[in-house]
Structure formats: structure tokens, C-alpha cells
Structure 1
Amino acid sequence: MLKRRKTLLNSFIVITLLLVFGANAQGEARDNPSPESSVIAAQGVIQRLIPAHAKQFDLAVISPDDGRDVFEIESREGNIILRGNNGVSLCSALHWYLRYNCHTNISWNGIQLDLPETLPAVPQKIRQVSPHRYRYFFNYCCFGYSLPWWDWEQWEFMIDWMALNGINMPLAVTGQEATWQKVMRQLDLGEDAVRQFLAGPPYLPFGWMGCLDGWGGPLPQNWIDRHEELQRKILARERELGMTPVIQGFTGHVPAAIRKKFPDAKLHKIQWIEWNTLFIDPLDPLFRQIGKLFLDQQRQDFGTDHLYAADTFIEMSPPSNDPAFLNNMGKSLISTLTEADPDAIWVMQGWIFYNNAKFWQPPQSKAFLAGVPDDRMILLDLYCDVAPVWKKTEAFYGKPWIWCILQNFGNTISLSGPLPRINEELFQSMSDPARGKLSGIGMIQEGLDYNPVVFEFMTEMTWRDKPVDLSRWIADYATRRYGQPLDSAQKAWEFMQNSVYDKTHSPNSIYTSRPQYSNDPPKPVSVSGDLLSAWEQLLLCADALQKSDTYRFDVVNVTRQVLSDFARIIYTQSMTAYQKNDVKQFKKSCQRFLEILDDLDEVLATRQEFLLGKWIADARRWGTTETDQQLFEWNARNVITLWGDAKSALHDYARKEWSGLISEFYRNRWKLFFDQLEQSLPERKDFDNDAFTQMIQMWENAWTRRHDSYPDQPSGDSVDIAIRLFKKYRSELGA
């Protein structure tokens, strides 16, 4: 009897948990978490973030504001009351309170949570309503350039960060390899076909976009199984918080083995850079057959929230520019989705209309989009901060769309961000009569980036309906970033606002580029005076902020940018000396250039965010055998250097200014270049760029296959080293 009562009690607990948290990742996902589960999910974020203060918050769920997300904050009987219409809104209320009442800063590049024992009261009730139905986050590329080696602990923090910042529509494509493996087995394509189709970890998202097959593989079974489980955890947490994850749709891209298995199928060969893939003709019955098989299997594996990402020709041209063909392609894709899920909505990147504008002329783009009902599609306008596509497509011809920033390519590192353009053009778009069905805001950077101010600003805009006073906002940001108002810190950020954060993208550092000689006279360059002033003002805060995590990151990042810019000046001097046959000055400039790289490597070694060793260690930890560990290490090394094979056109696309990579890859590569130039000087031989490139390609390829160990923990004092470097270079820089 006691045993039966215990069994019944356990069953009741399981049923209760299902009611509170919704269905698990397998099967149908809940559309609307209950008020109780929303509160529990938000309380979990508070416990993970500020456990010592968790009891000072009371949470409650309120109704949406005319269908829009809303939160409220006020004080009552000594506690902080947070109200919101779902978990994301509740977490956004928490973050707004911490940001503006406690002057804190939470980023993946440093955290400042210096809170008093008793939290400050809210002077008057705060109520914020989001004007944006959708708040989107993640680019496919981010899963290759920032996220490929992440474990649950890292994902848990990221999901908390998204909830705190109002994100309700994250792309979620981890673990797709498990679904595809099952589909290919159902099609009886053979295990060799699986190995040849699934790419290595950082290349997987490019496979999901149809760009390549198998590069960097084969994937070990252990990887596939563990990432299927990881995706279930990711989706469960996102759904608990009230997010609507965007999962993978079917694009028509299929394994090469399909050709042999279905010889009568109409297949198109598509090329991206140096890779070729197969695409099923949208009118071939096999398109829907495999599409439904994939979508049904994915739903069984992970459930669905009815949003599906599908980018059939993200940077490739379709096999035909016939508007009728393109219209049928759109119809076939959406009908395949809705056959598997009647509530399906196709989420597509509008990048194709910018990247391949020559192909996607108005007749082609209009025909393609017309094949999809307006209520079955959402377009992501990726590059609104630079080249908004909505203005050239009549707001995507009536489709709902999301205003996005791209921010970086390849997760390269530079101080940059278009804060004024976001502050102006986002709100101009929101009020433009020609905006069509503008329905949201998004951040779709190719990597997580190294400019936390941009994401703090952009995510705050998810809760605002008009521009802010940018100068005042920056001054307040400096206070929140470091936890106290300091004149020098505010001046530093004012200088950065007027320089690096007044533009979209800074050029890549010269030393991360593969060296090539040009007979053209070098263009004169300089280091921004405002950036130098920012560096100086920031270092004046050292005594007050020596132990601040956020301050130490910013000091390293600004120091990195100054020295990277200075390296370009010294490079210019070396090339000028070479062209003048000034051997002495050439040698001096080359040595100075390499010395700057040594100093950069040293200061970057003080922060984990800038360590090659951390990237490689994170990759190797997923391997259960030495063979697997070496495969993952090659993937980690290759994607940030060659990207493809030794002759790849994508070399250095995902370059990184990281300690270890500078000292062992970039510095050595430039040393080889300078040595070759020096050898050609006495006899004034023409420098053979082609011969050097062939030699350096072999050297780079060999480097990707090495297994040297690099520190995966920081060393040295960020502030002390930055101050020493400032004193060393200030006179040359004119600071």
C-alpha cells in the first residue's frame, strides 16, 4: 500500500512538472507557458544571477498590453515587485531594475554586479511596453564562429542573457546532425553517406544553409548524441522562459548519395565558393517527400514552436532566374512546411537580396516571395544599419519583416558599432509610411562580437519607441559598466562615442591579413586622436577600478585597438622603406612591427576572451578519443585561419586577434614575409608574390595540423600591462 502511494505521488509530481514546464523537447511544444511556470522560470534566472538577493524580489504575471509584451517594476513593503506577461518580460523587468536602479552591467565581456545588501527602492512605478512583436537573436554563422564548442553551462548563461535583454525569438539549430542522421538512415543511404554529408562542428551551420557537405568531418557518433541532448536542454529552457525558438526548416539541400538512391530525381548542382552541393528541384515529388521526412523527424526529436529557418540560396544563385521557377520554389518550400506543420511560418534571411542583388532583380524577388502567403513568412533584413533591403523591395512586398543589425563578419575583432545610425534609423523605419509590416528588431551578427556597448544599446531599444539622448545614454553606460560615476570613464566613453562607435565597421587589423607586396605607394594612415584620448582617460581610472572585471576587459580591448592601428602605421613605414631601398629603415620598421605583435600578444593573454588556448581546449573537450580530439582541434584551428583547404578563397575570413594566434601564427607569417622581402633588397629583385603565397599556404596548412598547447587560462595583470604599454608608445602616438 505504501509502495503504491509512493508511486502515485511520483506520478503526481511528474504530471505537475509537465503542467508547470510544458511538454518536453520531444513531441509538441507548448505555445503559452502558464503564469506559474513563467514565474518559476524567471526565478531561476534570479537565483543563477544574484542568489543572495533573490528573496528581495516578488514576481507576478500580468496580461499583455494590447497584445504586446509588457513589464512593470515598483517597490512594496521593502521588496521589489516585478511584473510581466511572460518569463522574458519578467526577466527584462529584472534587468531594467538592475541596470537603472542599481547601475549594473551584464555582458559576455565582463559582468559588474556590485549590489548593496539591501536593494534600493524604486521611486515610482515603471512600466515599459515593447513596440516589437519579435526580438530576434543569432545568425547561422554564429554557431560556427562563436558557439560550436559550447557546453550547457555556457548556453545556460546565454539563454539567461537573452531573457534579461528581451529576446523572444532565438535561432536554435544545435543538434540538427542527429535529425539528419536519422532521416538518412530511414532513406537507407548508408553510413558512408552520413559521414560525407555532416560537416565538422564550426562548419555545420554552413551545411544547414546548403553551402557545403562534409567539410571538417566525419562527426563522431558521440558528438551527434551529446548535441541532440544539448539541443533538448536549450529548447526546454528557452520555452520555459516564453521564447519562441526558430528551428531548422527544409531547404531542398540533400546529401550527394540521393543521386544514386533516386536516379530519376531532378537535382541541381549549386556552387558556393569552392564547394558544390545538390538541391532537389522544388517541383520534383522527392522535394516534399524528403522535406516532410526531415520535418516530422525533427518534430519528434525536438518539438516545434512553428517557426522554421530556411535559406535555400543564402549566397548562391538558383539554377534558374525564371520568375515562374522562383515562384514555384517559394510555393514548394512553404507547402512542404505546412504539410508537416499546418501552423508553420517560414523565417528567411533577406541577405540574398543584398548579397546577390544582380540575380535578385525586382521580377525575381517579387515572384519568389509571392509564392508564399504573407502570414506564412517573416523576413530578416540583416544589414539595416548599412544597406536596408526593405527600401528596395517595397518592404518585402507585404511580408512581415524584422529590422536587424549585422555588426560583424566572421566574428572578427574591432572596436566599432553604429550607435547613432541605430538610434536614428531604427525609429525612422518604425514611423516610415512605407515600412509595410515591420514587426520586430533583431541582432544577427556572425559572431558574438567584442563590443558589449552595442548589444546593451540595441537590446534596450527592444523596449523603447523613440530615440534616446545618445550622449546622456553613453555617460550613464559608463557608470553602469563600472558601477560608479567617474569623470575620466565618462570622458573615455565620450571619445569612443565620437570615434569607433560612430561608424559601422572598422577595417581588419593589417597583421591578421596574409602578407602580399604591392608596388603601389602605401596609403598614409593614423591612429584616431579620440581613440588615443579614450585610452588615456580609461587608464586614469586604474586606481578606482583596478579590480573591476568590466573595466579590465575594456582596457585590454582599447589597448588592442590602439596597437593594432599603430601596427598599420609601422607596416606603411616598412613598405615605404622597401620601395626606397632603405635597408636600415626597412629592418628597423619590420622589427618594430613584430615588437608590437609581441606586446599585443602579452596584453591579450590577460583575458580569457582573447585566448587561442581556450578556443582549442573547448574544442578538444568534446572528443572522447585522441583521434576525435585531434579532429576537433583541426576544425578549431582551420576555421579561424584557412577556413577551407590551403588554397581557399576564404582564408583569414574569421581571423582573430587572440593571444597565441598572434605569437604563433600571425607573427611567424609576417616574419617569413619580411625575411623574403629582405632577401630581395640587395639585388632589387621583383618580389614574387605568387611564389610567396604558395609557400605560405603550405606553411598555414601545416600549422592547422599541429597540436601545440596554448594557455587556456589568462596570465598577467591587464591594467598594469596596459599602463606600461601606454607609457611605451605614448610619445610615438602623440598621446
Structure 2
Amino acid sequence: MRYIIKNSVILIVLLFAFCKSNAGDRAKKQPDKNDTELSNVYSLAKRVLENRSNDFVFQLEKKANGKDFFEISKIGKKILIKGNNGVSLASGLNWYLKKYCNSQFTVIDQHIALPAILTQPLSPEVMYTKFNKRYFFNVCTFSYTMAWWDWKDWERQIDWMAMNGINFPLAITGQEAVWTEVYKALGLSQKQIDNFLVGPAYLPWSWMGNIDGLGGPLPKSWIEKHKVLEQKILKRERDLGMTPILQAFTGHVPESIKEIYPNAKLHQTGNWSAGFGGTYFLDPSDTLFQRIGKLFIQKQTEMYGTDHYYSADCFNEVNPDSNDPGFLSNMSRSVYKSMATADPKAVWVMQAWFLYYSIDNFWREPQVKALLGAVPNDKMIILDLWGEVHPVWKKQSAFYGKPWIWNVLQNFGGRTSMSGRLQDMATNLKDVLSSPDKGNFSGIGMAMEYFGNDPVVQEFVMNMVWEKDVPDVKQWIGNYVADRYGKKNEFARKAWQGMLETVYNSNKQTGTFLCERPGFYNSKLAYRTSPIPDYDNKILGEALDNLLKCSNQFKNLDTYQFDVVNLTRQYLSPLGYYWILQLKDAYDRRDLDRFLKIKAQFIELIKDFDVLLSTRKEYLLGRWISTAKKWGDTRSEKDLYEWNARNIITLWGEKCTEGQFDDLNNYAYKQWAGMFTSYHLVQWNKFFDEVETALKKNENWDRAPFLDSSCQWEKNWSSQKNIFPTKPQGDPIEVSKRMYQKYLSFIVKYSK
């Protein structure tokens, strides 16, 4: 009897094991979405923590209230993180790293230093987010920040987004592949398509309808590679539980479409504010509009799938032909219909930048209500891009019932400056949360054109995704510093408090006059570099002094090295403005000796900027150009990409006719090693030579012919092929100390 029972038990165990094995095999053949999210979170943890990722256990768990959440607790000697999706789990990991380990994984760098035995929470810590949607990116970010990114760059970025709760990212890489297929299907020749598509550095302004052809033709290899890259991006974002936003048709078409469809109703926009000629838009009443819009969504879905959210910006810094509300209503209805015909679940995601940009001369209440009202409320989401400075929702009645997302913009053109008024960000978000007039407020986001220079801004804003209340800025900055360097330090705390009083209490992107087109300062002109700080540079100098006092303790930390170089660069920046005033005074007094003395200081400062910035990879022109060229398969492709990389950060456009200059010249200027000596110094030396000659001849210097020749030289520089270092050189801390001591007396003399 015992024998029978024993063998029965064995048989049952074997049958159970067999069934379990088959179930496992079936699961492998048909992977569960939950398994996909979990495996991707474990992979993310491995990339961030390497072997220490084994100390964490992740568990998917739904909550009855439907809100995104994570819970941190313990399981044995490990840390257990629960969450309702991959983004929540990754956010829980990031929360633990900051709150329990004084570690930090920012959008550009990281400081990870886990203790041998991880601190376990005394009781489970549960965090919910009040924001349904957490948006990230600006259309322009795909140029100024990410023009040359490969999968390695994107993989880290997606990790960071997941760890910061972002679930609603703009994902428009590879759109050129869709457009190519659409226009081929419509009968356009390859030459006509080539003349329409812009170069890699200019794609955002093609998507928004501002320019055609600039920087092209776009090689087939680029199109194919970025189609594959977008497929990887979307798969990873979706696997982590994000909802990517793709693109839709806005009406922007090649002028040559008239050759195929001579009866097409086209409208040419007025000149873009940058001085470019108008582009062509198809009339929304034309049946061809619906055909193209539907075809675009179909082709895009074949390539990239869909999550039913589509970005479409019809009026980026250009106004429609008519301000008639009926016309605007019909146009908006047609744009949405072209999406919905192909995808009945389509939701239009629209940047509200145009409502800020032309609010005083075009977009009044009747026009805005007509445009937005033509689309059902649940079929449109508005992105209030510059919410921390110019909250459009207040002037446009919270977008008349449409769901909308409050964003921080902070950086324009990828300009190298420390800026962003953190207190304004906190205050304006509080205003939204407490306002009875906030309408259908639905989320928080960031829409910077560049995010390579101020990681503190991204950390502050995205930290608010999970905080129960908007934090006190001074208290938050103390925690940020401890995470950034791994431990508290009184000098570091004072340094960041000084930055909080100055650069991070300013929305002005203060740069250096050294990066302007040479000439004497004219208070009536607007300068790209905003060379005059609106803060007390003396306080910023004290912050730098305090930060340098931490060098014995933190000198080997990558995060600390970046901060020191960045702050030194910012502190030295106003010297160019101070000295150009002194040069003008010497010129006016016809004091050649004094002019030559200040000129020598000016030139030495330009060279020293190159030396300082050469110590950090983030500030190397060579990396920007080399990563662009890596995308090329042939010499001609590499040359095209190098031209794009050089031109976008200097001349921007192509015009160099006598006495006429693109408005966007220097819009995306960079304080990078390589730029100072190869670009700015050459131009300044020419300026010095001409003014010196004028002084010796007792003549007046005329800037007009200088500008003409300067513009032509800039155009030629974009076509140069000189090589720049791609790896840092020198000790960032020692070089920063040397520069600080060298220029301290000059800056103190001129500071407020």
C-alpha cells in the first residue's frame, strides 16, 4: 500500500513538473506583456547598476485606483520594488538610489555608489503620481541635442526617461522614411523628394513646415538607418510601458507636387521669421489633403506601429493665410480628419508655442476657440511649452476644455549657459495645481531644445512627478548636492546655494561676447549670447570658490568635474563684455597702446576658454562633428553631415549676400573647445587688425564691409574639413583652479 501511494505521489509530481514545463514553453512562444516589461526593467537595472542589480527584485502589481505608483520594501536582504508598469518600477529604482544611497543618474551623467549592504526601508514606502501624462522632448531637441545620436545614446536616454516617470515621449526619429514612401506612392520622382527633404541637422523645421531642402539631399542610407533606429526606440519605449507620440500630416508639401497634381490648391506661407522664403501648404479643403494625411498614417503604421497619438504643428512661427474663424475651424477639422480616417482612435498632440509666439498679432480668442473647438476634447492634447515663464493656459482659458500638459522649456538653441529659474518652475506649477481655472490639466513635462548643460533643471522638474507636494527649492537643492557627490559637504552646499541665487535664479541664457560676431558693443542690438548677466557675478565667484574647496574630497567624481568646469566657464563668460567696453573706450580716445594691451588680454581669454573646455567631453566640437560623420557610408555622405553639423551651430542658414544676414545666425552657438580657436579667434583677429589699422591711420572703422566678409568666411568655415580632438585633454580641476585665479581680479573689478 505504501508502495502504491509512494509511486502515485511520484507520478503526480512528474505530471505537475511536465505540465509546468510545457506551460513555460508556451509562455516562451507567446510572451506576456508583463513579462516583457519586467525583463526590460531588469535589463535597465543591469545597465545602470551592473552586478549590484542582483540586489533588487521587481514585481508588477496593479492598484485599484488606476494611478501610476511604486512601492519600495524589503525581501530578505534585497530591495523589493513594486509598480504597475515598467516606468513605475524604473522610477521606484531611481527613487531608492537617490533617497537611500545618495546616488544620481541624470540626463547627462551619473554618480552611483551603493553601500556594501543596502539600506532597507523600515516600512513599505508607496508613492503615487498625480500626473497622468509625463511628456518629454521638443521637436527642436531632435536637432540641437540628438541630431547624431545612435542606439547607445538613445538606450541611455530611454533608461533615464523611465527612471524619471516619463510615459509620453515624442518619438519622431525616422519620419523621413515615411515621407519618402508617401511621396513615392503619390508619383513624385526621387529628385523631387530629394529637393524637399532637408539635411539631418534641419529635420525638425521640415516637420514643422518652415524650410525645404536645406542641408540636403538626404542620403538613402540615412533614411534606412534611422528607420531601423526608430523601430528600436519605439520597441524599447513600448516595452517599458511608455506611449510614444508619432507624427501626422499638417499640409506641408513640396512645391513640385504641382507638377504631378496641377489642380492642387497650394498656399505659400509668408517668410519665416528667420528670413527664409515661404514653404507650401495644401489647402485643407482639397481632397488631396485627406488622401495624403490618410496615406501618411497608413505608411507610418506599417513601419512603426501606432499608439494613436500624433504630433502635428501647422503654424510654427508662421501664421495661416486668413484669421477668419471659419477658415481656421475647417483647417483644424481637416487635419484631424486626415488622422482619424486612417486611425479612428487618433489623438492630436499640438505644441502651443504658436499661441505664445503670435498671441498679440493673430491668435486672439475667436481664432483659438475656432481652431481648438473643431476637434473633440478627447481627441486633442495641448502642450503648453514655456509654462515656467509664459504660461499660455492662463491667457487662453486653459485651452477651452482640451486636456493640456504644463512644460518647462528652459533652453533655446542648445546655447551653452547655466540658466533656469527653479523657483519660477515651482511657483508656476503650484499655480496650476491650485487654480480652479486649470481646466482639463493632465500632466507635466519638459520641452527643452537642448539638455546637455543643466542636469539640475531636469532633475528638479522630473522629481516633482512623484513628490506629493511641490518641494521647497532650497531644501531640495541640498538633497540634490548630496546625491550628486555622494555625501554632504558644507562647501558644496554653499556653492549650490550661490548658484541658486544667481544662474538658477535667471531665465536669461547668459553667455560670452567672445562668441558674437566681432564688433563694438551696441546697446541697441540684441545679442544671441545675452552677454550681460542679470545676477551678481561676485556671488557666482564665491560659489565657484566654495566648489573648488571640495576638490580634495570630490576631485575624482565625474559629476563634480563637470560642475566645476561648467561653473568656471559661466563665471568667466562676462569678461568678454567687460573688455569690449574697454576696447571701445580705447578706440574712442585713440589710445593705441591701451587698445593693444586689452586686445592681448582678449585673445588670451579666447585661447584659455579652449583650454578649459578641452578638459570635458561635453564641450568638444570634435565629438559633435565626428559623431555626425560616423553616420556616413561614403566620403560625400560624411562631408554632407559635417557641413550640417558645422552650419547649424554657426550660420544656421545659407545666405551670405552683401549686407544681408540670416536672423538665425549664431542662434545655436556653442561654448565648445575647437569653436573658440578655429572660429571665434579667427574672426576677432580680423576685427583687431582692421581697428588697429584704422587707429594708426587715424581713420574710423566701418563694420559694414567687415560683416560682409565675416559672413562669407562663416559660410566657408562650414565647408572646412579640419579635425578637432574627440577626447578630453588636461585635468579639469587643476585647469579650472588656474583659470579662476588668473581672471579673478579682472572679474571682481567689473562685477556688481
TM bracket, shorter-chain basis:
over 0.9
Q: Residues 311-348 of structure 1, C-alpha deviation per residue, up to 9 Å, x if partnerless? A: 01111011111110000011111111111111111000
Q: 2:490 maps to which residue?
A: 487
Query: CA shift at 1:355, angstroms?
Result: 0.7
1:296 maps to 298
Matched, 1:188 2:187: yes
Deviation at 1:683, TM superposition (A): 4.0
8 Å contact kept, 1:146–1:447: yes
1:602-625 C-alpha deviation (Å, 9 max, x unpaired): 111011110000000000001111
Tell me by how many angstroms 1:579 deviates. Answer: 2.1
SS in 2 for 1:417: coil
Q: Which amino acid aligns with 1:293?
A: L
Verify the 8 A CA contact 1:232 1:302 in the aligned structure 2.
yes
Q: Aligned equivalents of 1:183 and 1:367: distance in 2?
A: 30
Partner AA of 2:486 in structure 1: G
Residue identity matched to 1:558: L
Mapping 1:250-265, distance limit 5 Å: 250-265=249-264
Which letter maps to 1:597? I
Matches of 1:224 and 1:379 in 2, distance apart? Answer: 30
- Separation in structure 1 between the aligned mates of residue 267 and residue 680 of structure 2, nearest angstrom: 40
After superposition, the Cα gap between the structure-2 partners of 1:245 and 1:17, relative to the gap in structure 1 and judged at 3 Å, is farther
Residues 585-642 of structure 1 show CA distances to partners (whole Å, capped at 9, x for unaligned) of 2221122112111111111101111000000000000111111101100000000000
State the partner residue of 2:479: 476
In 2, the alpha carbon distance for the partners of 1:344 and 1:444 equals 22
User: C-alpha offsets along residues 328-378 of structure 1, whole Å, 9 cap, x if unaligned?
Assistant: 011111111111111111000000011112111111111111111111100
2:316 to 304, 314, 337: 314
Instruction: State the AA in 1 paired with 2:640.
Output: L
Query: CA distance change for structure 1 residues 428 and 527 in 2, over 3 Å: closer, same or farther?
Result: closer
Q: Which runs of 4+ in 1 moved over 4 A?
A: 11-19, 518-527
Residue 610 (structure 1) aligns with: 619
**1:65 offset after TM fit, Å?**
5.8
Which residue of structure 2 lines up, in the alignment, with residue 285 of structure 1?
A: 287
CA RMSD of aligned residues (A): 1.9
**Residue 53 of structure 1 contacts residue 117 of structure 1 at CA under 8 Å; is this kept in 2?**
no
Matched AA of 1:572: L
Could you say which residue in structure 2 is the equivalent of 1:207? 206
> For 1:152 and 1:275, how far apart are their aligned partners in 2?
35
Aligned to 2:716: 702
Could you tell me how far apart the structure 1 residues matched to 2:364 and 2:284 are? Answer: 21
Equivalent position of 2:445 in the other structure? 442
Structure 1 window deviating more from structure 2 (290-299 vs 269-278): it is 269-278
Offset of residue 13 of structure 1: 9.8
Give the structure 2 partner of residue 327 of structure 1.
329
Paired residues of 1:306 and 1:344 also in contact (CA < 8 A):
yes
- Residue of structure 2 equivalent to 1:538: 547
State the SS of the aligned residue for 2:172: coil
**Aligned residue for 1:598?**
607
| Amino acid paired to 1:50 | L
Contact 2:108 2:452 in 1 (8 A): no
For residue 728 of structure 1, what is the aligned residue in structure 2?
A: 742
SS at match of 2:57: strand
| 1:527 and 1:562 in contact (8 A); partners too | no
Q: Secondary structure at the match of 2:348?
A: strand
CA shift in 2, pair 1:390/1:242, >3 Å: same
Structure 1: tracts of 5 or more residues without a match: 1-10, 22-33
Cα pair distance change 1:312/1:520, threshold 3 Å? closer
Change (3 A) 1:680 1:557: same
Contact 1:478 1:485 in 2 (8 A): yes
Aligned length: 713
Aligned to 1:160: 159
Moved more, 640-649 or 402-411: 640-649
The match for 2:11 is none
**Does the CA-based 8 Å contact 2:520-2:580 persist in structure 1?**
no
Residues in 2 aligned to 1:732 and 1:689: alpha-carbon distance in whole angstroms: 28
Instruction: Quote the Cα distance in structure 2 between the aligned partners of 1:475 and 1:701.
Output: 46
CA distance in 1, matches of 2:550, 2:371: 56
| Code of the aligned partner of 1:542 | S
CA distance in 1, matches of 2:277, 2:26: 49
User: Matches of 1:452 and 1:93 in 2, distance apart?
Assistant: 20
DSSP-derived class of the 1:501 partner: helix
Closer/same/farther in 2, CA of residues 278 and 298 from structure 1, 3 Å limit: same
Deviation track 1:664-685 (CA, whole Å, cap 9, x = no partner) reads 1112112212222222223443
Letter in 2 for 1:681: L
Mapped partners of 2:88, 2:454: distance in 1: 25
Match of 2:142 in 1: 143
| Residues 39-188 of structure 1: pairs in structure 2 closer than 5 A | 39-64=38-63, 66-188=65-187
2:120 aligned counterpart, secondary structure = coil
Residue pair 2:629, 2:641 contacting (<8 A) in 1 also: yes
SS at match of 1:50: helix
Map of 1:4 onto structure 2: none
Query: What SS does structure 1 have at the residue aligned with 2:381?
Result: strand
- CA distance in structure 2 between the partners assigned to 1:432 and 1:65 by the alignment: 28
Distance 2:603 2:417 in 1: 20
Does structure 1 conserve the Cα–Cα contact (< 8 Å) formed by 2:491 and 2:549?
yes
Q: CA deviation at 1:14?
A: 11
Q: Say if 2:392 is the partner of 1:389.
A: yes
1:362 maps to 2:362: no
Q: Show CA shifts across 1:481-509 (max 9, x none).
A: 01111111111011111111112223332
Q: Summarize the alignment of residues 30-41 of structure 1 with structure 2, pairs less than 5 Å apart.
A: 34-41=33-40
* Partner Cα distance (2:747, 2:200) in 1: 42
Quote the offset at 1:51 in angstroms. Answer: 1.9
Q: What is the Cα deviation at residue 179 of structure 1?
A: 0.8
Distance 2:307 2:457 in 1: 29
Q: What is the deviation of 1:687?
A: 2.6
Within the alignment, does 1:666 sit opposite 2:668 as a pair? no
> Which shows bigger deviation, 11-20 or 403-412?
11-20
User: 1:637-648 alignment to 2 at 5 Å?
Assistant: 637-645=646-654, 646=656, 647-648=661-662
Aligned to 2:696: 682
Letter in 1 for 2:205: F
TM-score by length of 2: 0.92
- The one-letter code matched in structure 2 to 1:102 is C
Contact 2:511 2:573 in 1 (8 A): no
- Following superposition, the deviation at residue 464 of structure 1 comes to 2.2
Offset at 1:74?
1.1
Whole-Å separation in 1 of the counterparts to 2:153 and 2:632: 18
- Conservation of the 8 A alpha-carbon contact between 2:452 and 2:618: no
Q: What does residue 29 of structure 1 align with?
A: none
Aligned pair in 2 of structure 1 residues 524, 130: CA closer, same or farther (>3 Å)? closer
Distance (Å, rounded) in 2 between the aligned partners of 1:348 and 1:61? 32
Aligned pair in 2 of structure 1 residues 16, 697: CA closer, same or farther (>3 Å)? farther
Match of 2:9 in 1: none
Q: Distance in 2 between matches of 1:123 and 1:693?
A: 67
What is the rounded CA distance, in whole Å, between the counterparts of 1:302 and 1:435 in structure 2?
35
> Does structure 2 conserve the Cα–Cα contact (< 8 Å) formed by 1:410 and 1:655?
yes
* 1:653 Cα deviation from its structure 2 partner: 0.5
Please give the per-residue CA displacement for 1:510-548, whole angstroms capped at 9, x wherever unaligned: 122212335769998796111101110010011111110
* Cα separation, 2, equivalents of 1:43 and 1:182: 37
Q: How does 1:454-465 map to 2 (within 5 A)?
A: 454-465=457-468
The one-letter code matched in structure 2 to 1:169 is F
Partner of 1:562: 571
Per the alignment, residue 510 of structure 2 pairs with 507
Distance in structure 2 (CA, Å) of the matches to 1:320 and 1:201: 32
Matches of 1:519 and 1:222 in 2, distance apart?
A: 47
